[in-house]
Structure 1
Amino acid sequence: MTSRTGVKDPQSVRPDGSRATPFAIAGVRTIALHNVLTRSGVLTEILRTDWPELSIAPRHVILATMNPGGITDWHRHRMQTDHLVAIGGTIKLVLWDGREDSPTHGAADVIRMGVMRPLIAIVPPGVWHGLRNESGVPASYLNINDVPYDHADPDNHRLPADSPLPPIAL
């Protein structure tokens, strides 16, 4: 799949679960999670504070559920680092680096995640991102943050899902 700017959607993954193509945006990364088969089904560790790949102390966890085909607005945070984990369905996460001072300003990335491809997608502050439920059923994800949401002064800046500013389609 190609975006409005010709950015390819690389989905090849190495046997260890890491991404075969490096991310185009500085600070964006994933942590492969692993399913463990049990007698009764599957177990997946979502987060451990002793994982060296984590760069935050978790302070706030949100569960979001998206309707089939649902799309979020584009959004970014000044201070908050998002750690997104799909726990149901298949979700497409689209990222665009609008940070003026970033060495990867203008770059875009796409991450697909779900129960069949468990991972933590890490979105640094200032990176625009949006999500699309590509499932025919409701999809859910966890957002694990390092900054608790402040209802009086939200760290959440939005653009409509169809905004022309990010040059890549949700």
Structure 2
Amino acid sequence: MNYRTTIEGANLTELGQIVDERGAVLHHMRNDAPDFTVFGECYFSEMLPGAVKAWKRHRHQTQNIAVPVGRVRFVMFDDREGSSSHGTLDIVELGRPDDYHRLRIPRGVWYGFTCLSSRPALVANCADRVHDPDDAELRPEYDERFPY
């Protein structure tokens, strides 16, 4: 099931979990998912408790993020000219077992995230492009342009 966020082009997709007494199989992305476009690369980012990674946006790359371990708060800010959600800030928390979703962050949307868990969290991203450092734009965590 897909859920819209207040940011144009962003959405949340509930992800499958097959859990038994031995552990769990956790789904992330399928090529028949409604929001799948093309595969670029998948990678994992470990976040330590209380760590903050902000602010970043990609000009061409779309993020497809899930949090299979721990709990992470994502903050998105849309300053794209012409976007119906221009000036909108949205906050989403992801983590198992209750909020295991894929968060789609469209290109051009600023985002940052912080680990809310008492143990390290794992962020998985299945992006639609191979990472290109020249595609990313970074701003400091406390940049005044972000109302958060």
**Fold shared, TM-score > 0.5 on shorter chain:** yes
CA distance in 1, matches of 2:17, 2:129: 28
Shift of 1:32: 0.4
What SS class does the counterpart of residue 160 from structure 1 fall into?
coil
Return the TM-score normalized by structure 2.
0.92
* Cα distance in 2, alignment partners of residues 139 and 80 from structure 1: 23
The equivalent residue for 2:45 is 64
RMSD, aligned CA: 1.5
Shift of residue 64, structure 1, vs aligned partner:
0.3
Percentage identity across aligned positions?
Answer: 27
TM-score (norm 1): 0.81
Structure 2 portions without partners, runs of 5+? none
Which residue of the partner structure matches residue 28 of structure 1?
10
SS in 1 for 2:147: coil
* Cα distance in structure 1, aligned partners of 2:118 and 2:100: 19
- Larger CA Rg, structure 1 vs 2: 1
State how 1:1-170 maps to structure 2 within 5 Å. 19=3, 22-51=4-33, 53-116=34-97, 117-151=99-133, 154-168=134-148
Bigger fraction of residues in strand: 2
Flag structure 1 segments of 5+ consecutive residues without an equivalent: 1-15
* Shift >4 Å, 4+ stretches: none
Once residues 28 and 132 of structure 2 are traced to their aligned partners in structure 1, the CA distance between those partners, rounded to angstroms, is 25
CA distance in 2, matches of 1:143, 1:46: 9
Alignment length (residue pairs): 147
